[in-house]
Amino acid sequence: MTENTPPDPARENSSRLLMLGLGGYLVLPILALVTVTLGFILVLNDRLVPGLGFLFVAQIWVAGGLWAHLSRRRLLRGASEAGPDGRN
C-alpha cells in the first residue's frame, strides 16, 4: 500500500516551470511563426478573410507565450525569495 504523503511543493513548481518554459519558449512561438506564415501566404494569394483569420490566431499564440513567460518569471521570483529549502 502507499501512504498519503503531502505533495512536495518544489517538485510541483519544477514541473510547472518546465511546462511553462516549454510552452512559452518553444511550442507557442513555433505555432505563432507557422500561423503567421500561412496567414501571409493566404493574404498574398488574394484570400483576405482566411489570411486575416490566421493572423488573428497568431496573436493568440503570441499572447499565450507572453502569459507563459510572465507566469514562469513570477514563479521563479517566488522560489528565489523563498530560499533553497522552500521556506522564508
Q: What is the DSSP secondary-structure string of the chain? A: ----PPP-HHHHHHHHHHHHHHIIIIIHHHHHHHHHHHHHHHHHTT-HHHHHHHHHHHHHHHHHHHHHHHHHHHHHHHHHHH-TTS--
Domain tally for the chain?
A: 1
Does residue 43 form part of some domain? yes
Does residue 42 form part of some domain? yes
pLDDT in tens, 29-86: 999 999 999 999 999 999 999 999 999 999 999 999 999 999 999 999 988 877 665 5
Does residue 5 form part of some domain? no
d(C-alpha 28, C-alpha 68), whole Å:
9
Does residue 32 form part of some domain? yes
What range defines the domain where residue 37 resides?
20-80
